[in-house]
Structure 1
Amino acid sequence: MAFTNPADDVVAGILRNTRTIAVIGAGTDRFRPVYGVMSFLISHGYDVYPVNPTAAGEVVQGKTILADMGDIPVPIDMVDCFRRSAFIPPVVERAIEVGAKSVWMQLGVVNEDAAARARGAGLEVVMDRCPVIEWSRLGL
């Protein structure tokens, strides 16, 4: 069965109830979409933890980039994925391991198998969407 994103009220609920976000694929390049999304999330009160093993220890927007979601010292509500679709399955597995509540795959990121695995483990999944766009579209 093909994946369908949750209804608008569920997506709005995810955005309203999320406090802690692991941003997978974060980096210091101000011209990458992840930089702008992180800025938006931080400015809207989310507790954002950038995660990228190849940039671990670097600082982006005042936050130290972590090597792994397991390094985040608090429970994770959302895992926001800025990785190519082929690299999503291990991100989802790690999200399940650390007890995240939702996985959000950014625009252009689609992995139906990983989405099914996450949903099967009880996580909410949003795929091929951007939380910044959804925030505005839903009037939050």
Structure 2
Amino acid sequence: MLLDDLPAIKKLLATARTIAVVGLSPKETRPSNMVARYLIEAGYTVIPVNPGQEEILGLDCYPDLGSIPVPVDIVDIFRRSEDVPPIVAESIAIGAKAIWMQEGVIHAEAARTARAAGVLVVMDRCLKTVHHGLGHERG
């Protein structure tokens, strides 16, 4: 899927503060870990979501989105495509503004569900790559 709503994506990246990274790995060489570190350096508050971990990157890790005690702007998904629908349902339930499915993560039906709920969806794109490509600076 192309970035079909670039103005909305630019606005989202400029105004978002908190990004929950679902499937964040504690291993430094994994893409999820590299993206999370980039997002932290870019000034975002990153919240790890991985039921098998208590802490990642020195941050408290949560087993699911519903356990996060603060509002979440973007849910960044690093999970297999077939695992996406319940994550999207949780994202809608917690009031996330956007769902970002990383490269290779594609679930059209879940994307339609999220959009119908008024949630911005980006699918099959790397958040780090898009953010960097747009030259976003956090202030």
Match of 2:36 among 32, 38, 42: 38
Say how many residue pairs are matched: 136
Displacement, 1:4?
5.5
Deviation readout 1:72-121 (Å, 9 max, x if unpaired): 11111000000011100000000011111100000011100000000001
- After the TM superposition, which residues 29-108 of structure 1 pair with which residues of structure 2 at under 5 Å, given as runs? 29-55=27-53, 57=54, 59-108=55-104
Structure 2 residue matching 1:128: 3-state secondary structure: coil
Conservation of the 8 A alpha-carbon contact between 1:92 and 1:118: yes
Query: Aligned equivalents of 2:4 and 2:10: distance in 1?
Result: 10
Displacement, 1:134?
0.6
Query: Aligned equivalents of 2:60 and 2:41: distance in 1?
Result: 17
Match of 1:139 among 126, 132, 135: 135
Structure 1 residue matching 2:36: 3-state secondary structure: helix
Displacement, 1:137?
1.6
Displacement, 1:54?
2.3
Q: TM-score, normalised by structure 2?
A: 0.92
Structure 1 residue matching 2:19: 3-state secondary structure: strand
Equivalent residue, structure 2, for 1:18 = 16
Unaligned runs of 5+ in 1: none
Note the aligned Cα RMSD (angstroms): 1.2
Query: Aligned equivalents of 2:132 and 2:60: distance in 1?
Result: 28
Conservation of the 8 A alpha-carbon contact between 1:76 and 1:98: yes
Displacement, 1:139?
2.2
Q: TM-score, normalised by structure 1?
A: 0.92
Structure 2 residue matching 1:118: 3-state secondary structure: helix
Conservation of the 8 A alpha-carbon contact between 1:84 and 1:109: yes
